[in-house]
Amino acid sequence: MRVLVTGGAGFIGSHVVEALAEHGHEPVVFDLRDGLDVRDATAVASALTDVDAVCHQAAMVGLGTGFGDAVEYVSRNDLGTAVLLAAMVEAGVRRLVLAGSMVVYGEGRYACEGHGVVRPGPRAVADLDAGRFEPRCPRCGEELTPGLVGEDAPADPRNVYATTKLAQEHLAAAWARATGGSAVSLRYHNVYGPGMPRDTPYAGVASFFRSALAHGRAPSVFEDGGQRRDFVHVRDVAAANVAALTAELRGGALTAYNTGSGEPHTVGAMARALADAYGGPEPVVTGEYRLGDVRHITADSSRLRAELGWKAEIGFEEGMREFATAKLRGE
């Protein structure tokens, strides 16, 4: 199968390209680093020649530097996706795998002892300033117990990036309905591994910690370090893309799959594991926060395992040991 991989020279995209080649497919790299912009309809149309499927990894990621980035996020992520999908219609390409994100959920799944499953609203600045980081039950104000979020949870994006990722899914779903094509959104959780970009406001927390250690600085852990995430290795994510690209899927709709390790860890625990593997220095918990961050978001990836036969193969400790000395992009 000949697969166009947008963002194919990027962090996750390059691993997808490698995994496709290892499984006997022909990946075609389309990347901004080569002067190929997914918003360029002519370039995209040319790249789709004789292509059987598209793996859409190209995106502007992370929280960025503030709301001033909103226009660029929408342009790259949503306009770019619309241009790509329109070109796929013309080229007759009917299979799409989209790099989705867990950020579309906002906060994860919470249960209140008295009121069952509830969805807390955005955390108040006054609470964050006072170090009150845990969301409370919106009905009684009591403490909540975090759990695993499933794909059927309602979307509730809490920042610009999250909003654009949800819009990408809606565009892909509309494309699938209009063409009868098959569309999959792999909702990545916290992806880490070799080749992560370093020293950029758009990188993930694992990259921030790894860059700090490489400079001899202690990783700075925001809030109290107790925020829960699902850290999934990039090679496992690449394998999920291959599975989605080759699966027998129904046409005319978009199917979303959480793509996580299934092993929740706190950000503080991740920082400690990485620092231990690197040889120090120890992380420092700062109490700082980023408005728009969520407290707990961890994946229930059972649907991906059951329907596509995929499972994460690289455990947390093993992955952190490798990542501690892996080369980052920009080094």
Q: Which residues are catalytic?
A: 161
Mapped to the 3 state alphabet, what secondary structure does the chain carry?
CEEEEECCCCHHHHHHHHHHHHCCCEEEEECHHHCCCCCCHHHHHHHCCCCCEEEECCCCCCCCCCHHHHHHHHHHHHHHHHHHHHHHHHHCCCEEEEEEEHHHHCCCEEEECCCEEECCCCCCHHHHHCCCCCCECCCCCCEEEEEEECCCCCCCCCCHHHHHHHHHHHHHHHHHHHHCCEEEEEEECEEECCCCECCCCCCCHHHHHHHHHHCCCCCEECCCCCCEEEEEEHHHHHHHHHHHHHCCCCCCEEEEEEECCCCEEEHHHHHHHHHHHHCCCCCEECCCCCCCCCCCCEECCHHHHHHHCCCCCCCHHHHHHHHHHCCCECC
Tokens (6 digits) for 268: 């503080």
Tokens 């799959």 correspond to what residue? Answer: 257
| φ, ψ (nearest 5 deg) of residue 170 | -65, -40
Parallel, antiparallel, or unpaired: how do β-strands 228-233 and 190-192 relate? Answer: parallel
Pick left, alpha or beta for residue 172 (phi over 0 → left; psi -120 to 50 → alpha; otherwise beta): alpha
Please state whether the peptide bond connecting residue 281 to the residue before it is cis, i.e. omega within 30 degrees of 0. Answer: yes
- CA-to-CA distance for 156 and 123, rounded, in angstroms? 13
Alpha-carbon Rg for the chain in angstroms: 20
